[in-house]
Amino acid sequence: MYASGLKVCNDSNDVLMLQKSDLCYESVNVTKGYKNLYCVDCEECSDVYFCKNCMNCSDCIGCTNLRNQKYCIENVQYTKEEYEAKKKELDLSNYQNVRNYKKVAQSNWLKYPVKYMHSRQNVNSTGDYVFNSRNTLDSFEMVGAEDCRYCQFASTKTSKDCYDYTEYGENVEMVYETLLLGDGGANIRFTTQAVSNLRDLEYCYGVANASYLFGCIGVRAKQYCILNKQYTKEEYEELVPKIRKHMNEMPYVDAHGREYKYGEFFPINENVARGKGYAWKNVEEKAYVPTKSWKDLPNTLAETDDSITREIILCEDWDTNQNNAMNHNCTKAYKILPQELTFYKRMNIPIPRKCPNGRHNDRTKFRNPIIFNEQVCMCELGNHDHEGKCIEQFKTSYTKEGKEIVFCEKCYQAEVF
């Protein structure tokens, strides 16, 4: 519930980029995790809280860059009995304690180096969250990609020879300027929401199991169609080149004098849209009438009964700053669903103070932006096979203005493993 970017997951709430994981909460980029709460970039960990970039760890709190560890708090080793006692003292079932410890943990995370990109088993690839890929440049959240550039969110193998392609993957190749395509596709251009065994499509929407389509919508299991009209193979092959030529020679010109030729998309950025005369609709305030403020919610589940599911709760983001809240589509108020309350009780975690959109917005801050820049390794440690400061250069999505300590691959491996 309230999740994005899931693959094969169960019983998890308020998560982003979660794979093969169960019983996770308020976590980002977790793989094969079990009971990961408030964690970022963890893999094969269980019963961990506020951990970042840990692998094969269990029963840890507030740890960073650990490998194969157990019963640690803020990277300090404890016995099982000591760990349980300190965990009880922290009492992370209490909202105020969670809120306070979150600040402590996230401050501690910044004391440890991060690798310049989230990656593994790549050859000549740049971007972030790129895995098992070859010759894939300036791309984001890609798995099993080859010879791709400016692509993102194709995290299901494989994608080949793609350019300016967004979302899905799974055996696609030769894709250009396309959104939401997967489950087999080749030679696809300027198309969106198309699935299953596709070939040679241009300007199509919502099609499946089809090939040789131009400007079609909702077509299923057909070939050689233009604007949803059926043609013979010979007619199609004769008409499509003429249409492309016509689009370039006599492009559509709107009331503002803008031309749209073959291959050009409409802008969607608000500033660009307004500057060019497009209509733009801002988010409107919802008409909800809150019955309870986020400030009045109980600190623990023990103080919460089922009547909370009948309340309309004022969101903390909206109450604090309405303008900022509207920027991430805050709903002003929200409800706790019965199944949601069941999850909180099962995990013994406090009721959230923000609407689902506000919580999602907070999580996205722990997923690196899709903006890449050149940087130099920040390592100055003397035991990493370099004298003085490392001079290795790389392209990274960590910003130069950020507080992270960004290492190159070699220095990071020397420090963490």
What average pLDDT does this structure show over 178-204? 96
pLDDT band at 265 (very low <50, low <70, confident <90, very high): very low
Q: pLDDT tens across 77-86, in order?
A: 999 999 999 9
Q: Encoding tokens for residue 239?
A: 């008409």
Give CA–CA dist 164/1, Å, rounded.
30
Per 3-state DSSP, what percentage of the chain is helix, strand, and coil (rounded to 5)?
Answer: 25, 35, 40
Q: Give the domain ranges of the chain.
A: 3-115, 119-249, 373-416
Count of CB atoms situated within 10 Å of the CB of 160? 19
Q: pLDDT tens across 374-395, in order?
A: 999 999 987 788 888 999 999 9
pTM of the complete model = 0.86
Give CA–CA dist 30/34, Å, rounded.
9
Residues in a beta bridge with 70 = 58
Contact 145, 130 (CB under 8 A): yes
Strands 229-230 and 223-226: antiparallel
Give CA–CA dist 188/182, Å, rounded.
11
Give CA–CA dist 382/295, Å, rounded.
50
Give CA–CA dist 27/37, Å, rounded.
6
Nearest to 318 by CA among 351, 281, 338, 290: 290
- Residue 369: partners with Cβ closer than 8 Å, 6 or more residues away: 397, 399
The beta strands (E) that lie in 185-288 are given as 185-189, 192-195, 198-202, 211-214, 223-226, 229-230, 252-253, 259-260
Peptide bond preceding 158 in cis form (omega within 30 of 0): yes
Give CA–CA dist 275/69, Å, rounded.
55
Give CA–CA dist 350/355, Å, rounded.
14
**Average pLDDT in the chain:** 93
Q: pLDDT tens across 219-228, in order?
A: 999 999 999 9
| The predicted structure's pLDDT at residue 269 | 64
pLDDT band at 263 (very low <50, low <70, confident <90, very high): low
Contact 231, 238 (CB under 8 A): no
Q: pLDDT tens across 337-368, in order?
A: 999 999 999 999 999 999 999 999 999 999 99
Give CA–CA dist 309/211, Å, rounded.
49
Contact 140, 128 (CB under 8 A): yes
**For residue 48, is pLDDT > 90?**
yes
**For residue 59, is pLDDT > 80?**
yes
**For residue 283, is pLDDT > 70?**
no
Contact 412, 113 (CB under 8 A): yes
